[in-house]
Chain A
Amino acid sequence: MTTQTGKSFFKRPEKNYVHPYFGGLVLGIVLFLAFFLTGNGLGSSGATSRLDAALVDAISPVHVDNNPYLLKMAGGDKNPLDDWIVPVFFGALLGGFASGFFNGRLKFMTTKGPNISDRTRWLMAFLGGVIFLYGARMARGCTSGQALSGGATLSAGSWVIMFAIFGGAYGVAYFVRKFWN
């Protein structure tokens, strides 16, 4: 079902994705183990803003001191990267790469709907990233930190956020249908 535009590195045979329920089962066990061992769930968007904060702190520490949001992460002698979510972020990058490697899915390509150009898709992906992370920081967590982790711990706010995410996406889906169908 995937149309390939590039050649797989290492010439490994491309395998099928696992069944969604099986993927969910494994992910659920990973999430449980994270909570059980460390008390924290899974996440990634927090690492994005921490990496941003580290960058700002390196370029202009004065700017950090004038920004209450950055101050919480990088003020004074605080190291914004000294947080559990940062190793999780880099671990996830590596894990995605490993799965791509073992399943023959490492290749430069663009995943997009059939009726748009690569350039349009790239622009939309970039814009989507800007919008998503802006919302994720506002909601204090993304699909992983809120919907998945907060959902499993039955946090009331996380369930509200989860429905808001689906609501926002379904609400706009019709208007951007030509990008995907």
Chain B
Amino acid sequence: MNFPLPSLVAVSAANPWTYVLFAAIGFAFGYTLEMSGFGDSRKLAAQFYFTELTVLKVMFTAITVAMVLLFGAVGLGLLDFSQVWVNPTYLASGIVGGLIMGVGFIVGGFCPTTSLASASTGKIDGMLFMLGGFVGAFLFGETEKYFDGWYTNAGYFGRVTLDQVFGIHVGAVVVIVILMALFMFWGGEQLERIFGKKDLSREPKLRVAGAVALFAAAVTVLALGSPSLEEKYNKVKFTRTETIEQVNADPIVNTITYSADEMLANRLVFITPAEAFKAKYNQSMNPVYLDVRPEADYNLYHIEDAVNVPLEHLAEVIPVLLTEPPANTVFILMSNDETAAVKAWKVLVGSSVQNVYVLEGGVNNWIAFFGAEDKALQPRPNAGDDQLGYLFPAALGSRYESCSPNPIEYEKLEFEARIKLQLKRDKSGGGCG
């Protein structure tokens, strides 16, 4: 079985029981917060006067435990990390919003979820915090339009995790975070002793064993490593339906499951220039043309709207491709022929980018199809594999006529549609926002 469960990646009215499961998760969440004392604002505020560091202890224990289990499950190949919601990074609005939240925290004595635990147990201040929260969220909705550009663009880095930022293995980050947390627990207890006059000798000894266990688990995660791109690529499955017409009966519809290599071998991911062109005018999809050739070739000639991402820089844009918001985004890869584009396809598919296709025959085939009558483009007979098969009088980029074929002239194009949208989930629906 693959986790997360595909049927649960989003709730939907079509599957009412998904609501029940999410409500159960929320129930456990609220229960845990209340039993840890987070229904009492004094316990929360004490964090900021160093008298009682319950907030720090609960929060960082929860983060580290969840992190170790999560990356352990990823390392064992049980959990597909690309299907786990990772908050995209918006540095500017994150920092300003975080500072504002901090002020709200110490003024109000709660954070949103703890106010739920407080309000539901009859605490009047918790109820008022909740009420204030509705007003605050409403005010944000009303004022967001004044800084929409800043809110959506400033410091945007997409789906990026700490291991990518520091360029080290994720297991190493797990170990470092746990060492940091254990140090903070130790420091926090010292602060409680000094500021809160707490007698540490009465604390349970078991917590030392817990710390050792946590550290050992982190080292195990580091030792497990994470599945390589190739391992992930080999696990990817595609489903396609095949309809067989019957003479005197309803057609038979077969569902076939292909591996990624079978998709390539059966050429199910290669789309003709006609289909790639028509995708632009198809309301149901949002095509993104990724040109993986070297910049020099791209400057000589490229399809209108194509974005140049040379193959060696492809890994850098994957965080952005994984957060590309609309679920109907289709990525169309192209090189001069197919070799580089197929390599890029394998990398993207292994990284769980959805709806990735390759332009059949590459840019050369595009020119053969749309630019055959352009006298300026002369075939280059001695072109090798995946090299441009034409000679260009000038590096005009996308200003050749065939770069942007006239949609009226090419209104009727026959092709066998190979693009099958896989609407796994709308990533913008995840997370808190």
A positions within 8 Å CB-CB of B:
2, 6, 9, 17-21, 23-46, 48-49, 51-53, 56, 67-70, 72, 79, 82-100, 103, 105-113, 118, 121-122, 124-173, 176-177, 179-181
Contacts and interface: CB of A to CB of B under 8 A. Distances in A.
Given A45-B133, A99-B34, A143-B113, A25 B433 contact: no
B66 A35 contact: yes
Given A38-B21, A141-B432, A146-B87, A168 B105 contact: yes
A125 B33 contact: no
A156 B165 contact: yes
Interface stretch (B54-62, B247-255, B295-303): B54-62
B104 A128 contact: yes
Interface stretch (B37-45, B260-268, B283-291): B37-45
Given A132-B101, A164-B95, A40 B73 contact: no
A33 B5 CA distance: 11
19 contacts: A17-B35, A18-B35, A23-B58, A23-B61, A27-B65, A31-B63, A49-B141, A67-B142, A93-B116, A94-B27, A95-B29, A98-B31, A132-B132, A138-B100, A139-B94, A148-B62, A152-B67, A154-B161, A168-B99
Contact of A19 (B59, B115, B204): B204
Interface residues of B, number: 142
A24 B60 contact: yes
B121 A30 contact: no
A126 B132 contact: yes
Contacts of B404: none
B100 A168 contact: yes
B101 A96 contact: no
Interface in B175-207: 177, 185, 204, 207
A156 B177 CA distance: 13
B33 A96 contact: yes
A118 B310 CA distance: 64
A62 to B, nearest CB: 14
Interface string B126-164: 101111111111111110110010010000010111111
Instruction: Name the residue in A2, A35, A118, A122 with the highest tally of chain B Cβ atoms < 10 Å from its Cβ.
Output: A35
A134 to B, nearest CB: 4
Q: Give 5 nearest A-B pairs by CB, closest first.
A: A128-B108, A168-B102, A91-B26, A129-B132, A145-B432
A167 B399 CA distance: 52
Contacts of A160: 89, 91, 94-95, 98
B104 A111 contact: no
Nearest to A43: B432
Contact of A95 (B12, B27, B78): B27
Contacts of A110: 123-125
A131 B4 contact: no
A141 to B, nearest CB: 3
Nearest to B41: A111
Contacts of A100: 34, 39, 117, 120-122
Contact of A94 (B54, B63, B120): B120
Nearest to B63: A151
A20 B58 contact: yes
A52 B134 contact: yes
A151 B65 CA distance: 11
A57 B124 CA distance: 29
